[in-house]
Amino acid sequence: MRNKTLQVDKPFVYDYSLEDWKQWTEENREPAFRAGQIFDWLYVKRVTDFEEMTNLSKALREKLKASFSFVTLSEIAKYESKDGTVKFLFELADKNAIETVIMKHSYGNSVCVTTQVGCRVGCTFCASTLGGLKRDLRPGEIVAQIVKAQQLLDAKGERVSSIVIMGIGEPFENYDAMMKFLNIMIHPKGLNIGQRHITVSTSGIVPNIYRFADEDTQINLAISIHAPNNALRTKLMPVNVRFPFEDLIESCKYYMAKTGRRITFEYALMGNVNDQAEHAEELAQVLKEMPMCHVNLIPVNYVQERNYVRTTRDDIFNFQRILERNKINATIRREQGSDIAAACGQLRAKHMETK
């Protein structure tokens, strides 16, 4: 069953890849090079009005205006953290709200995008899933988040250097829109974001892990694993009932064998739930069979509606030590934007409460 998405009279300009523009220009009896010009105006010059596309004929601009619209992402709120993280709460055309985060690193600016309004996956430690899934984002609504971020960075002479698809939603449940978004992002004639600088994170939608493995891209894959066995994972992530732990691990092995690329396993540490030495030992046994993998330990953020406490500092380092003793590469995620509720879904949850 397909999820709902936004129905529009005119598609968004950002819904179209360069190949789509080529097809559109052909169907509209315009010379093929016009497609490249339109793409350039959208992603290199980043204009937001057809009238600014001055090397197109007046007639073509009128045709574009009649056939397409620009995405409306109205800024409801913008929070800036002391560490440089900027978090946006945007309102979409249908008044739904989504979040986008720009994180500042020593190596550049990374943007975390949302792929769905809400989420139906139901991870028990996540605020994004509290109101369930409202709808999928259109490809253009995902693209618009990056264009907005880039416009903000343009003022500082900086660029979006990497993208993480880890915001609200399960990207593998909005697969086609996510792939269209990626196609637009990596295009050398557009924003030209390096494939190796993009990471897609999934809670473990197994059939689409196989599909993604067969796509032949250089884009990174992260798996939210969060538990070392089937029983505990089911308690934390209801998605594990649909796609059990063993099947998930099999799909990861297939991905690695097919692509030759490593997987990052995200592991959110929750005090006394999944963060003890025995959990680390068990995880190490599972991951030993995948020597190329990497574990990213994330001390979980407090979510008011759930009763998880933070893992102690000692337990965090102990968990890491056990993995490394078993020759599994493990890092602890640096917390960013904690003073502005930057964890996924927290701003939107607050916004929904006030509404």
Residues that are catalytic = 99, 344
3-state secondary structure of 180: helix
Verify binding: residue 121, ligand SF4, rule CB under 6 A: yes
Among 85, 110, 128, 251, binds ligand SF4 (CB under 6 A): 128
Residue 3 among known ligand-binding residues: no
The partner residues of 104 in beta bridges, in order of sequence, read 109
Residue 183 among known ligand-binding residues: no
Cβ proximity to ligand SF4: between 22 and 135 the closer is 135
Verify binding: residue 136, ligand SF4, rule CB under 6 A: no
Distance, in Å, from the CA atom of 97 to the CA atom of 169, rounded to the nearest integer, reads 12
Cβ proximity to ligand SF4: between 302 and 317 the closer is 302
Verify binding: residue 103, ligand SF4, rule CB under 6 A: no
Distances 187 to 17, 36, 43, 183 between C-alpha atoms, Å = 9, 11, 10, 6
Q: Please report the beta strands in 197-327, taking only residues with DSSP state E, as ranges in sequence order.
A: 198-202, 220-224, 263-269, 294-299
Residue 226 among known ligand-binding residues: yes
Closest listed residue to residue 116, CA positions, set 245, 2, 263, 241: 2
Q: Give least dist CB 51 to ligand SF4, A.
A: 38
Cβ proximity to ligand SF4: between 81 and 129 the closer is 129
Q: Give least dist CB 123 to ligand SF4, A.
A: 3
Residue 293 among known ligand-binding residues: no
Among 85, 129, 217, 296, binds ligand SF4 (CB under 6 A): 129
Verify binding: residue 169, ligand SF4, rule CB under 6 A: yes
Among 101, 113, 168, 328, binds ligand SF4 (CB under 6 A): 168
Q: Give least dist CB 201 to ligand SF4, A.
A: 8
Cβ proximity to ligand SF4: between 298 and 322 the closer is 298
Verify binding: residue 100, ligand SF4, rule CB under 6 A: no
How many beta carbons lie within 10 A of that of residue 182, not counting itself? Answer: 24
How many beta carbons lie within 10 A of that of residue 266, not counting itself? Answer: 19
Verify binding: residue 119, ligand SF4, rule CB under 6 A: yes
Q: Which residues of 270-303 are buried (b: 16+ CB within 10 A; e: fewer)?
A: bbebbbbeebbebbbebbeebeebbbbbbbbbeb
Distance, in Å, from the CA atom of 252 to the CA atom of 258, rounded to the nearest integer, reads 10
Q: Give least dist CB 268 to ligand SF4, A.
A: 8
Residue 169 among known ligand-binding residues: yes
Q: Give least dist CB 259 to ligand SF4, A.
A: 22
Distance, in Å, from the CA atom of 324 to the CA atom of 299, rounded to the nearest integer, reads 18
* Spatial contact of 159 and 104, defined as CB atoms under 8 Å apart: no
Q: Which residues are annotated as a binding site?
A: 119, 123, 126, 169-170, 201, 224-226, 301
Which residues are near ligand SF4 by CB under 6 A? 119, 121-123, 126, 128-129, 168-170, 203, 344
